[in-house]
Amino acid sequence: MDEQAGLKVAPPLLRTSTFTRRRRLDSLLGSDWRIAIPFVLPVTVIMAGLILWPFINAILLSFTTRSLVTRTETYVGLDNYVRLLRDADFINSVKNTLVFTFSSVGIKFVVGLSIALLLNGRLPFRNILTGLILLPWIVPEVVTALAWRSIYDPIFGGLNPILQALGLINRPVAWLAEPGLAMPSVIAVNVWKGIPFYTILLLAGLKAIDREQYEAAEVDGATIVQRFRYITLPGLRYVILVTVLLSFIQTFNTFGLIYLMTGGGPGGATRVFSVLAYEKAILGLRFGPGAATAFSMAPFMALLIFVLARVMQPNDSVRARQTESVADRALAWIGQGLGFVVDFIFLPIEWLFAAIRGISNLFVRRDKYGHPLMSLSQRERVGVGTRGVLLLPILLFVLFPFYWIVITSFKTDLQIQQYTSIFWPDPWTWEQHRSLIADTPFLVWFRNTVLVATTSTAISVLVAALAAYALARLKFLGARLLTTLLLVTYLLPAALLFIPLYRILTDLRIINTYAALIITYPTFLMPFATWVMLGYFRSIPVELEEAAMIDGSTRLAAFWRITVPLAAPALLSVTLFAFTNAWNEFLFAFVFITSENLKTLPVGLQLLVFGDIYPWGKLMSASLLMAIPVVVVYVYAQRYLVQGLTAGAVKG
């Protein structure tokens, strides 16, 4: 029958052999490896071509130096690293980096946790207050730097008049020009911008703690400090660890904020290792020593990333293991050591509260359980009033830079120069906005930013959705390794990549083009988007897709028709995150783009500055117009942004 129809039928032995080979291949590579290829190929190509290869290239580059005669790279082995040990600038930059990082992270943790505790209780307009507290986090980095540089300005700034009025200083202070004050000033700005990150994650962790534990402890007579020490801190252990490690890694590799505010000065007082690496590699064209400077911190960063990767791995990959590794025991020892430190810190605090409670018992009538004889409503009103009073100075600290941007952008140049009506425009004028749009390429920079941000966001979200679905649903060899690598690449600092990427883009002849940014932005947008989408896809019942495939749908069709619509909230969240990060990005745009007509807003705003002359009116007008799109997006979809960040960092 088959022969008459002209069909060739394979011999039974050949068909059996082919089936056996396929079974063996599926057993080796995973049952879904064929289906997984189109899903994970884009993310694999991006990671291999734009992250792994530049990373390897940077390591190799750090072993070379540029010959002034032949203008080629010469292999010098470990000489670049050995020279760093004798380089006073490098040693000073390491010291500055550690001071900046530890001080910033410590202050942000204390203030962020305090705000989270205040917002976790009953407060009127709590959602509005939470939104206001989170504003510094979404404001572009260049806007933050320019706003605070204006506030710190010794002649035209707003900080000196306030401190002089309060009697704290008797003369104007050059906050960013004095070596002893520049670093604390920059740390204060980093704290201002980083507080929301701690607040949002710690607040999410506080909401997950069972309220019944607090009620039972209160009945047993536990004080506020004891409830915090033995219920709140243990309940936040995982969130605190993830938050502090993420913040430490990001703060340790800070470049844009410091470079925009001080350029590493004065006299190297704020020059951190990332700024020094930029000065050597890009300004000095010494790519080898620059790469060595960046990679000198790699072992320390690798340890932090390793610890964080183990903490954030899914439950079924680490926590279900029966055997305990050396790393797990080391983490346990670290935890015990931190526990002793916490006990040491809280012991005098508990003594102090006990003394205060003993004194208050002499004046406040209490019941036999030690509770004040006040009604529940009275105690709630006292608690709300106390939290409101404590939040007030924090709100002033958070909102003052925004107020300063607005009022400065509506002042005339003469009013700014004559230093009249410092905290209120008199008269209000649109002069700065009109001049900015008519006399500068602001609209060109705005167009470039929109083009680069939207294109890179679309590519990153599409690739991330495909990869996250494959990792959540399909079984194939290397899935767990790819999941871990995504987290590692998300944490990989840009300071390690911008030097080799600059050379690669130059060799490809796409440096100083839109393509240079569009193809490199996914290196930091895609890993986080994939991580968030992965967690969301795992929460969607797989039975819905299986039912669609039983009805004849392909895996890809089931993904687009069933899974993607259900994952719309997560897709919106990662899209907003990616767009915001692309809109705010400074380092890559600063290094890869030199043409004024191609610059994005974060870099273009620098061109408004002429030497030491800062046109504060135009700069604040540009900052306001740049921040408006991000703030509008944030206000429109605040809850999705919050869900996305907590999904990526809080859930364990």
**208 three-state secondary structure:** coil
What's the pLDDT at 184?
A: 95
Half-sphere exposure of 536 (CA within 13 A, CB side): 30
| Residue 463 to residue 472: CA distance in whole angstroms | 14
Secondary-structure percent of the chain, ordered helix, strand, coil, rounded to 5: 75, 0, 25
- What are the structure tokens assigned to 426, written together? 């008199």
Q: Measuring CA to CA, which residue among 378, 303, 297 is closest to residue 334? A: 303
Q: Assess contact for 484 and 309: CB atoms under 8 A.
A: yes
Q: Measuring CA to CA, which residue among 460, 466, 471 is closest to residue 577? A: 460
CB neighbourhood size of 299 (10 A) = 8
Q: Give me the helix-helix angle, 126-133 and 376-409, nearest 10°.
A: 40
| Residue 566 to residue 556: CA distance in whole angstroms | 15
Q: Assess contact for 512 and 593: CB atoms under 8 A.
A: yes
What are the backbone dihedrals phi and psi of residue 550, each rounded to the nearest 5 degrees, phi first? -65, -35
- What are the structure tokens assigned to 500, written together? 């080799």
**413 three-state secondary structure:** helix
Q: Hey, where are the domains in the chain?
A: 40-314+374-649
In whole numbers, what is the pLDDT of the chain averaged over residues?
Answer: 80
3-state secondary structure 465-493: HHHHHHHHHCCCCCHHHHHHHHHHHHHCC
Give the contacts of 296 (CB within 8 A, at least 6 positions apart). 81, 84, 90, 94, 273
| Residue 197 to residue 191: CA distance in whole angstroms | 10
Q: What ranges make up the beta strands (E) of 71-126?
A: 73-75
User: Tokens 């905290």 map to which residue?
Assistant: 423
What's the pLDDT at 323?
A: 45
Q: Measuring CA to CA, which residue among 570, 561, 558, 564 is closest to residue 530? A: 570
- pLDDT tens digits, residue range 160-207? 999 988 888 888 899 999 989 999 999 999 999 999 888 888 887 888
CB neighbourhood size of 121 (10 A) = 13
| Residue 51 to residue 524: CA distance in whole angstroms | 9
- What are the structure tokens assigned to 458, written together? 């679309």
- pLDDT tens digits, residue range 539-561? 788 888 888 888 877 888 888 88
| Residue 228 to residue 120: CA distance in whole angstroms | 13
What's the pLDDT at 515?
A: 93
Q: What is the DSSP letter of 610?
A: B
Q: Assess contact for 467 and 40: CB atoms under 8 A.
A: yes
Q: Assess contact for 527 and 460: CB atoms under 8 A.
A: no
- What are the structure tokens assigned to 604, written together? 């273009």
User: Tokens 């290869």 map to which residue?
Assistant: 53
Burial of 568 (0-12, 13-18, 19+ CB in 10 A): exposed
Assign 630 a pLDDT band (cuts: 50, 70, 90). confident
pLDDT surpassing 80 at residue 370: no
- pLDDT tens digits, residue range 228-240? 778 888 888 878 8
Which of 20-34, 60-74, 468-482 has the largest mean confidence?
468-482
The more confidently predicted of residues 335 and 251 is 251
Q: Assess contact for 108 and 194: CB atoms under 8 A.
A: yes
Q: Assess contact for 521 and 460: CB atoms under 8 A.
A: yes
Q: Which amino acid would we find at residue 195?
A: I
What's the pLDDT at 7?
A: 47
- pLDDT tens digits, residue range 488-513? 777 677 777 888 888 889 888 999 99
Lowest mean pLDDT among 36-40, 307-311, 437-441, 603-607: 307-311
Q: Assess contact for 563 and 477: CB atoms under 8 A.
A: no
∠ CA 195-196-201, nearest 5°, is 110
Q: Please provide the size of the chain in residues.
A: 652
Q: Measuring CA to CA, which residue among 307, 242, 334, 321 is closest to residue 484? A: 307
40-314+374-649: CATH superfamily: MetI-like (1.10.3720.10)
**396 three-state secondary structure:** helix
Q: Assess contact for 483 and 535: CB atoms under 8 A.
A: no
3-state secondary structure 354-392: HHHHHHHHCCCCECCCCCECCCHHHHHHHHHHHHHHHHH
- pLDDT tens digits, residue range 320-361? 444 455 555 555 665 566 566 656 555 565 555 555 555 555
- What are the structure tokens assigned to 283, written together? 């300004």
Enter the pTM of the model: 0.81
What are the backbone dihedrals phi and psi of residue 366, each rounded to the nearest 5 degrees, phi first? -130, 160
Q: Assess contact for 32 and 475: CB atoms under 8 A.
A: yes
User: Tokens 């004040």 map to which residue?
Assistant: 372
Q: Output the DSSP codes for 7-70.
A: PPPPPHHHHHHHHHHHHHHHHHH-TTHHHHHHHHHHHHHHHIIIIIHHHHHHHHHTTEEE-TTT
Q: What is the DSSP letter of 74?
A: E
Element (H, E) at 115: helix 88-120
User: Tokens 């704020």 map to which residue?
Assistant: 270
Assign 18 a pLDDT band (cuts: 50, 70, 90). low
∠ CA 548-551-556, nearest 5°, is 45
Q: What is the DSSP letter of 513?
A: S
Q: Which amino acid would we find at residue 611?
A: G
User: Tokens 């907590």 map to which residue?
Assistant: 646
- pLDDT tens digits, residue range 98-133? 999 999 999 998 888 888 888 887 777 777 787 788
